Amino acid sequence: MLITPSIHALRHTFKIPVAPGITLNRFVYSYLVFGETIILIDTGVAGCEKQIFDYIRSTGRDPSEIALIVLTHAHPDHIGAARAIQGATGCSIAAHPAERAWIEDVELQNRERPVPGFTTLVGGPVQLDFELVNGDSIETDETRAGELQVLHTPGHSPGSISLFMHSEGALISGDAIPVVGDLPIYDDAPASVLSIKRLRGLTGIGVLLSAWDEPRKGEEAYRQMDRALEYLRKIHETVLASAGDGSPDIMELTRTTAAALGLPPQAANPLLARTIAANLRARDVPDLFSGPSD
C-alpha cells in the first residue's frame, strides 16, 4: 500500500499459539522506503519475507535492492524475518544499541522475555552492522535529499526507536504508541509516557505509521497519540487502585486489571504482567502524566 511518494506499508497477519489448540490472531506492519535503494523498516515474523519480496516485485523493483533493514526494536514480530531477508539480499542491519543483545542472541531474548510460539516467530539471530541513536539521520535518496531522523522512544523496550521523514511528514513509530483497547505492552511506564509526549510534540506529522495500528493521517495522527496517553493514564490508575498499598500477586493483579480494562481473559499473560509491574514500579513517580510534550 502506497502511503507517501516514497513509503509503502505492508500489513502482515500471523498467529500466536497461546494454549493447546488456541491461537491469537495478530498483525504487524513493516514499511518500505523507496529511494535509489530500498530501506526496510521492521520485517514481520518468520516467513514474512515472501510477502515483502512479492510486493517489491509487484512495484517493478527487485528485493536485491534492499540495502538496509532498520529494526525499531528486538521483539519477535519485528525481527522475525530479518535473517532470511539478509541471507537473500546481503543487506545491512541497524538498530539501537540497547536492542543489540536480543537481536544477536534470540535465545537470550526467549529466556528473558518468553513469548508463546517464539521459535516459530523468529527465524534466527542477526548481527547488527551499525547502531542508531537519537539524532542520527538515515539518507533515503541522495537525489532528493530525503532522510529519516532517528528518535529514541523507549518504554515499550529500552532501545525502541521511531523514525521521522520530514520531507513527507511521515512518522514511523514502531510500538511506541499503544492502541486503546489492545494489549498494552511496555517495560517502563514513565519512559513510555515521555516518548509519546515527545512524538506528540513534533510538528508537521502528516501520517502516523505504527506497527500495530492502521495509518492515521492529518490531525487524526495527533488525536491517536492523545488517546494513547489517556489509555496509559487509565492503565496506571487501574493498576494502582487494584493493588492498594500492598504487594499483590502479580498474575492475580494482571487478571484483575485486564478485566477492569475490558481485555479478554487470554490477555492476562506474562507480557501484560510486565506492563503491570512497570506501573507498580512507577507508583511513586510524581506528576507522571502532567507537563507538556518535549
Mean pLDDT value across residues 223-228: 97
DSSP 150-185: EEE--SSSTT-EEEEEGGGTEEEEETSSPPTTS---
Q: How far is it, in rounded angstroms, from Cα 136 to Cα 125?
A: 24
Q: How far is it, in rounded angstroms, from Cα 226 to Cα 121?
A: 31
pLDDT tens per residue across span 191-201? 999 999 999 99
The residues, any chain, with a CB within 8 Å of residue 230's CB and separated by 6 or more, are: 180
Q: Could you tell me the three cell numbers for 279? A: 506501573
> Domain ranges in the chain?
7-218
Question: Does position 144 have pLDDT exceeding 60, yes or no?
Answer: no
Question: Does position 143 have pLDDT exceeding 90, yes or no?
Answer: no
Question: Does position 145 have pLDDT exceeding 70, yes or no?
Answer: no
Under DSSP, the state recorded for 266 is G
Three-class HEC string of 18-86: EECCEEEEEEEEEEEEECCCEEEECCCCCCCHHHHHHHHHHCCCCHHHEEEEECCCCCHHHHCCHHHHH
Work out the number of other CB atoms within 10 angstroms of the CB of residue 1.
10
Mean pLDDT value across residues 83-88: 98
Q: What is the rounded average pLDDT for all residues in the chain?
A: 92
Beta-bridge partner residues of 137: 149
Question: Does position 7 have pLDDT exceeding 90, yes or no?
Answer: yes
Question: Does position 284 have pLDDT exceeding 90, yes or no?
Answer: no
pLDDT at 294 (0 to 100): 41
CATH code, residues 7-218: 3.60.15.10
